[in-house]
Structure 1
Amino acid sequence: MLRLLSLETATDQGAFALWSGEVTAAEIRVQSFKQFCCPAGQPHAETLLPALRIALNELDWSLASIDAIVFDAGPGMFTGLRVSAALAQGLAIALNKPVIPVCSLEVLAEAAHQAMGATTVLSLLDARMNQIYAAGWTKEGLDWQAAFEPCLVGPDNLDYLPAMSKPLAAAGTGIKEYPAAADWLAQQGIVDSAVRYPSADALARLGAVRFQAGVFTDPAEAIPVYVRDRVALTTAERAAGEIL
């Protein structure tokens, strides 16, 4: 039976899961799943590893018994992405285990599928700075195919996103944070799945599908996907009126 550790720290709602199950051609069978949330208001870097040690003891798992480490590679919160990528790298190298990175926006799509059976999903994750990370997904079997790749868009410019087939559901914190995004979804007749955050459960399920398919990443190449590399302006740039 496959055992996975999934690290979900792309947002301020940090969590990880210890997941076991198997993947067939038609379905994902979960034997056991337990999610652990990082304490609110504390940096993921300080809470993730101590919580993982406690969780392993509770389930009587050893790190060596885990078959692979799955982590949310982003886009998302810069510091959170670096924490999970670094932990995944360190554990994979120390234990000689494979690493499986997954896009946060695909994790949102899988979470929406779990919540309401959605098979076509528009993921809208708050990128701060009055921007949204957006991507479109269509489910094919157990996999998701990108209708369009992750990009940055303003909440008032969602009309510029590539068209997607309907029925279409939406997920992500961008809906909650930007009223213009919620209004646009209503105008387009896109259903709000009410899913706001990528989950460690959905992340583990996607990791299991990739593990079964033999899709791994060398730990040295397990790095975050930021989409936006610049997160701040210099003092001179702000004084000149530049914006990101």
Structure 2
Amino acid sequence: MSTLLALDASSSACSAALWHDGEVTARFVVAPREHTRRLLPMARELLAEAGLPLSALDALAYGRGPGSFTGLRIAAGAAQGLAYGLERPLLGVSTLAALALAAHRRLHLRHVLPALDARMGEVYAAAYHCEAGRVTLIGEEAVLPPERLTLPAGQEERDWIGVGSGWALWEAMPATLQAGVGQCLVDEEPGAEAMVRLAAEAFAAGEGEAPHRVQPIYLRDQVAWKKSR
């Protein structure tokens, strides 16, 4: 069994989560501009409650994006600093995958379209199939104007659900997309609880890298929604 700590500051929310032998405890608060002050104290609280020292961690993880540029750097810096000091591997976890997993676990959704408001008239988006507590990315994550967002090619008939702040731009999205999305959960935020579950699964599969090799994913160099084949 393993022990992992995940940190996230990719949105207006700030969160930390601890995975210890399959059990998850977490802290989550919506606190814009307070990530630096809150993130590490949350982590310390979780470890103290579990009666674990920092040295008990087998790996660390953080929300690697897409999301707020400043927030991503805060979480990356905190997680990398801990991983360096402990000489532990680090895993970057997709914020969009975390949104999909949280929606799947809480609401039993199977076909999820996470989208986050990327500002500048764009959204970060991806499509996922979810089953038995696991999420599978369809195509690739992308940043694009909301009017260019589409359902995955050949899968338009599935019952898609939108989650995340990007769906506040619903009115700008194509009518064909609106027709295929049965519900939008605009208030959902990425969280470390889902991230630590994804990280634990990846770590068990042998993933995890040296801290300096794990970098935030901003997506700004991608401007097209790439459909699955």
Structure 2 counterpart SS, 1:45? helix
Partner of residue 97, structure 2 = 106
**Residue 101 of structure 2 contacts residue 133 of structure 2 at CA under 8 Å; is this kept in 1?**
no
Percent identity over the alignment? Answer: 35
Between the aligned partners of 2:107 and 2:185, the Cα distance in structure 1 is 7
Between the aligned partners of 1:4 and 1:181, the Cα distance in structure 2 is 40
Structure 2 counterpart SS, 1:17? strand
1:75 alignment partner, one of 66, 71, 85: 66
Between the aligned partners of 2:100 and 2:144, the Cα distance in structure 1 is 18
Structure 1 counterpart SS, 2:13? coil
Instruction: Deviation per CA, 1:134-164: give whole Å up to 9, x if none.
Output: 11122466543321211112122224x5426
| Cα 1:141/1:55, change in 2 over 3 Å | closer
Between the aligned partners of 1:41 and 1:152, the Cα distance in structure 2 is 22
CA RMSD of aligned residues (A): 2.4
| Cα 1:213/1:81, change in 2 over 3 Å | same
**Residue 84 of structure 2 contacts residue 211 of structure 2 at CA under 8 Å; is this kept in 1?**
yes
The normalised TM-score by structure 1 is 0.80
Shift of 1:109: 1.0
1:208 alignment partner, one of 200, 206, 220: 200
Name the stretch that deviates more: 67-76 or 192-201. 192-201
1:58 alignment partner, one of 42, 49, 71: 49
Q: Letter of the aligned partner of 2:16 in structure 1?
A: F
Shift of 1:35: 1.6
Instruction: Deviation per CA, 1:4-53: give whole Å up to 9, x if none.
Output: 111121101111112223xxxxxxxx43x322235724431232123333
Partner of residue 236, structure 1 = none
**Residue 115 of structure 1 contacts residue 193 of structure 1 at CA under 8 Å; is this kept in 2?**
no
Q: Are residues 1:132 and 2:123 paired?
A: yes
Q: Are residues 1:86 and 2:53 paired?
A: no
The normalised TM-score by structure 2 is 0.84
| Cα 1:142/1:213, change in 2 over 3 Å | farther
Count of aligned positions: 219
Larger Rg belongs to:
1
**Residue 16 of structure 2 contacts residue 42 of structure 2 at CA under 8 Å; is this kept in 1?**
no
Between the aligned partners of 1:227 and 1:152, the Cα distance in structure 2 is 6
Shift of 1:121: 1.6
Q: Letter of the aligned partner of 2:164 in structure 1?
A: G
| Cα 1:164/1:128, change in 2 over 3 Å | farther
Map of 1:72-221 to 2, 5 A cutoff? Answer: 72-139=63-130, 143-159=134-150, 162-163=152-153, 165=155, 166-175=158-167, 177-180=168-171, 184=175, 186-192=178-184, 196-221=188-213
